[in-house]
Structure 1
Amino acid sequence: MLNVFSSVAPYLKFNPKYVIVDNFVFKLHYRWSFVILLVATILVCSRQYFGDHIKCISGTIPEHVINTYCFFTPTFTLVRHLNNSALDKGIIFQPGIGPEESENEEVKRHAYYQWVPFVLFGQAILFYIPHFLWKSFEGGRIKALVFGLRMVGLTQYVRNQSLQIGKLNIPSMEEAESRVKNIRRAMIDRMRINQSWGAQLALMEMLNFFNILLQIYLTNRFLGGAFYSLGFQVLQERWTNRMDALDVVFPKVTKCHFRKFGPSGSLQMHDTLCVMALNIVNEKIYSILWFWYMFVLAMTILGLIWRVCTFLFYKNVRFTKLTFSYFARPGRIDYQELAAVVEKCNFSNWMFLFFLRSNLSEFLFKRVIFHLASELPNPEKDNSINAFLDREHSAATAGPSGTAPPIRLDDVDTPLLANKASDKMD
């Protein structure tokens, strides 16, 4: 049976090359909700483990004919017999099953079971869409910058050449220095052009919020308005009454009317009982989904509150230090250096730094902050990166004529892993 779920195994495997470009709440949507719904889809399609989806009892109609007809035609239960009193007195043996008094008697039709696998799979796709859009917007920028630097703490033992151990790569000192230099260059370059990165992430988080609301609404419509209160009713009734909300929404036995013409040409109606074996699985799936959706909704709301807090307080150095030190990855960051960087960051730059911190070691990130503090342009004085570099270079290297040749961003190659007084790595 475990082989049935092999298709979802890639979403659960540990990947040492995985780069963090989102947060825990985002993963609840595109990873865990997606996987849960895929598993549910596979379960309802696995006929070999739960038998036929429907089995109908009829003495004169061929079994395969009545089963096919009643599966494609909505079965029903009688509303009059959906009560615990009749069950306790032995008047009926199953909720909703009993004699009909008239052709106009109120019935509750059940047609959802034909569409359950399609709806579950469609919901899984909807949970994945915001992540797919965010990956497209993000464009792999973080991964390109931090690739190969996960094991940089062991670089001092590798020295001259990189070491590959399975899927793990331990970069050499030269490679680590080159890659960290790229981080510095890319970050400085993005200070002017990276204006919408943070807004796109916030937009995708809002899309996650509206998506979970949409999923709850669609599921409620799909189950005939019974999903909103399903979890509460299950907790209240499951262990006290013989008939609970699950028996009403997911009946195990239903009725089906099959009509055909007799030998003399008159219309004959066959009243058939149908055993809905798959509803044993459906009721468990939707009960779990109710609690899961409520949990994801609550966490998504908390995630949006957190995003609003980051937008309001990202200029606050204490808030940034707390966030970078404890929420991104544990480690200490120099207060003065961080203050110099935060002062020159907009919200998108701040978010970019946050995800750099989430993927880099404390050693590397402290070096990034150290050099950015002195090299980031001043947004009030410099209209471009090159203008900033020209001004800084001119002030430092002006000769007798009082001028200096211009310098461009690509000409700045001071390694981030070097101290000011030494070219050696720490």
Structure 2
Amino acid sequence: MAVFGLVSSVAGFIKVRYLVDKAIIDNVVFRCHYRLTSAVLFLCCVLVTANNLIGDPISCINDGAIPGHVINTYCWITYTFTLPGQHGRQVGTAVAHSGLGNEYNQERTFHSYYQWVPFMLFLQGMLFYTPHWIWKNWEDGKMRMISDGLRGNMTLSMEERRGRQSRLVRYLFDSKKTHNAYSFGYFFCEALNFINVVGNIFFVDKFLGGAFLTYGSDVLKFSDMDQENRSDPMIEIFPRVTKCTFHKYGPSGSIMKHDALCVLALNILNEKIYIFLWFWFIILTVLSGLAILYSAAILMMPTTREVVLKSRFRTAQSGQIENFIRRIQIGDFLMIHLLGQNINVTSFCEVVQTLISQLNEERPVDTPSAPSTLEMAPIYPEIGKYDKEKAALHQEYEA
């Protein structure tokens, strides 16, 4: 029940965030980093710290000369080891357990990562959330404010809807060519996502002693090998039984050596967690790379921006979108593109059509004054909730 409570807390955290932050300020791949991946890593962190699932994380047996709690604590806070030359041998006849045997003059593989796994998973969860945190603070709720009242609101009368659209168009018109810093922040954080997932792959590889890069492919190869001639890579990296050596002084003052066999029950979870993370990081790296290429095409090729805008604004006349794209900058396009993800297609088409008309006339239709996001507060009641200090900052930013 304790585990269920912790997992529910993680799920509740994600749910609350989703309900509060209604405005869409990124794309699906971006959300896979901070919502899905961070949630999975935090959930795994909870699971590996839940001792009631697996019992004690380590349990060692020895010749009885060392108390059980002493040898358990010692082997947990120091390290245990296996013999790589003993993997793949027949268990029960050649060796007692895979990776164990007579260690004289044999290479040893030391395992000291297991006590750090929860901290590592938590740190990774924070790393995957960081680009979103940077972008959210950079974006500062602008999309939420300018789309408020039109985002998901289907109860407005025609007059109210057109009034909100008119104010929104006026804001977009008078603030054109001032959003390049906004777009830079978005593309910068999107690049951080790609760097982060690639960096995490090498980070985990270093953490596991250089075994993570080929971990998933080795597991796939293992499943195709003959039963007689194969060594499970999951047991090699996450052994279930290891050896530990404890030294103490004997009655005469000489150093005595005591060997112990340690059962690492925690590794039954670790091996499943990291095989999942291996495949997921590969998938996320590919998706993030494609997102970077897509953003690069948006930045460098106006024709790509035209195709993206035409996919939502299908009622545009021939040549209208091409002319519109060439009269706005990349920051303006990103604002309009994100706006299209937050309001319905009808409202979006009307907003873009009115904006195109005003650009053609090169003057606002309703009023010559340039509205800031603060001035939109009478139409968007939620903006009034912001305190005076934040409102002043927004007004200064828009100026």
For residues 324-343 of structure 1, what are the structure 2 equivalents within 5 Å?
A: 324=309, 326=311, 332-335=314-317, 337-343=320-326
In the aligned structure 2, how far is the partner of 1:274 from the partner of 1:312?
58
Matches within 5 A, 1:339-350: 339-350=322-333
Higher relative contact order by CA 8 Å / sep ≥ 6: 1 or 2? Answer: 2
Counterpart of 2:266 in structure 1 is: 278
Aligned to 1:72: 77
1-structure distance, mates of 2:368, 2:183: 30
Q: Which residue of 2 aligns with 1:6?
A: 8
Correspondence 1:146 to 2:147:
yes
The whole-number CA distance in structure 2 between the counterparts of 1:27 and 1:180 is 28
Instruction: Trace 1:170-319 onto structure 2 (pairs within 5 A).
Output: 173-174=159-160, 176-238=161-223, 240=225, 241=227, 243-314=231-302, 316=303, 319=304
Letter in 1 for 2:40: I
The answer to whether the 8 A contact 2:177-2:332 is kept is no
Amino acid at match of 2:290: L
Question: TM-score scaled to structure 1, two decimals?
Answer: 0.79
CA contact (8 A) 2:29 2:291 kept: yes
Instruction: Check 1:130–1:234 CA distance in 2 against 1; reply closer, same or farther (3 A cut).
Output: same
Question: SS in structure 1 opposite 2:156?
Answer: helix
Give the 3-state SS of the residue equivalent to 2:154 in structure 1.
helix
Q: Which residue pairs with 2:380 in the alignment?
A: none
1:227-278 Cα deviation digits (max 9, x unpaired) = 1100000011146445311111100000001111122222111110000000
Shift of 1:30: 1.0
Paired amino acid for 1:112: Y
Verify the 8 A CA contact 2:152 2:342 in the aligned structure 1: no
Q: Secondary structure at the match of 2:289?
A: helix
Take 2:58 and 2:310, find their aligned partners in 1: how far apart are those partners?
57
Corresponding letter in the other structure for 1:114? Q
Q: Distance in 1 between matches of 2:338 and 2:353?
A: 17
- The corresponding residue for 1:92 is 95
What's the secondary structure of 1:409's corresponding residue?
coil
1:196–1:348: 8 Å Cα contact kept in structure 2? yes
Q: What corresponds to 1:382 in structure 2?
A: none
The residue aligned with 1:101 is: 104
Q: Shift of residue 321 of structure 1?
A: 5.2
SS in 2 for 1:154: coil
Contact 2:29 2:287 in 1 (8 A): yes
Contact 1:145–1:182 at 8 Å: present in 2 too?
no
Q: How many corresponding residue pairs?
A: 365
Q: Structure 2 residue aligned with 1:39, among 43, 53, 63? A: 43
Alignment deviations for residues 33-88 of structure 1 (CA, whole Å, 9 cap, x no partner):
11111111111111111111100002221111110000011100123312x2x326
Counterpart secondary structure, 2:82: strand
| Cα distance in structure 2, aligned partners of 1:62 and 1:410 | 75
Q: In 1, Cα distance between the equivalents of 2:166 and 2:150?
A: 12
RMSD of equivalent CA atoms: 2.6
Task: Check the 8 A contact 1:252/1:280 in 2, yes or no.
Answer: yes
Question: Who is 1:131 aligned against?
Answer: 132
Counterpart secondary structure, 2:252: coil
Residue 407 to residue 178, structure 1, CA distance change in 2 (3 Å): closer
Among candidates 44, 54, 75, match of residue 50 of structure 1: 54
Offset of residue 89 of structure 1: 7.8
Q: Aligned-pair distance for 1:202?
A: 1.3
Report the alpha carbon displacement of residue 323 of structure 1 after superposing the two structures with TM: 1.7
Once residues 267 and 410 of structure 1 are traced to their aligned partners in structure 2, the CA distance between those partners, rounded to angstroms, is 82
Question: How far apart, in 2, do the equivalents of 1:373 and 1:225 lie?
Answer: 56
Find the structure with the greater CA-based Rg: 1
CA spacing shift, 1:331–1:374, aligned 2, 3 Å: closer
Q: Distance in 2 between matches of 1:15 and 1:341?
A: 35
**1:147-166 equivalences in 2 (<5 Å):** 147-156=148-157
Q: Distance in 1 between matches of 2:333 and 2:8?
A: 39
d(CA) in 2 for partners of 1:112 and 1:34? 21
**Contact 1:146–1:179 under 8 Å retained in 2:** no
Q: CA shift at 1:190, angstroms?
A: 2.0
| 1:47–1:177 distance in 2 versus 1, CA, 3 Å | same
The Cα shift of 1:320 comes to 4.0
Determine the structure 2 residue equivalent to 1:384.
Answer: none
User: Any idea what the Cα deviations from partners look like across 1:275-330, whole Å, max 9, x if unmatched?
Assistant: 0000000000100000000000000111111111212333x3xx44542354xxx5
Q: Distance in 2 between matches of 1:322 and 1:53?
A: 55
Gaps of 5+ in 2: 377-399
TM-score, length of structure 2 as denominator length: 0.84
Matched, 1:376 2:359: yes
Amino acid paired to 2:96:
F
Q: Distance in 2 between matches of 1:5 and 1:88?
A: 37
Amino acid at match of 1:353: I
CA distance in 1, matches of 2:38, 2:28: 14
SS in 2 for 1:263: coil
Task: Say if 1:331 and 1:190 are closer, same or farther in 2 by CA, change over 3 A.
Answer: closer
Alpha-carbon offset, residue 4 of structure 1: 2.4
Residues 285 and 192 of structure 1, relative CA distance in 2, 3 Å threshold? same
State, as a whole percentage, how many aligned pairs show the same letter.
34
Structure-2 change in CA distance of 1:222 and 1:16 (3 Å) = closer
Q: CA deviation at 1:139?
A: 1.4
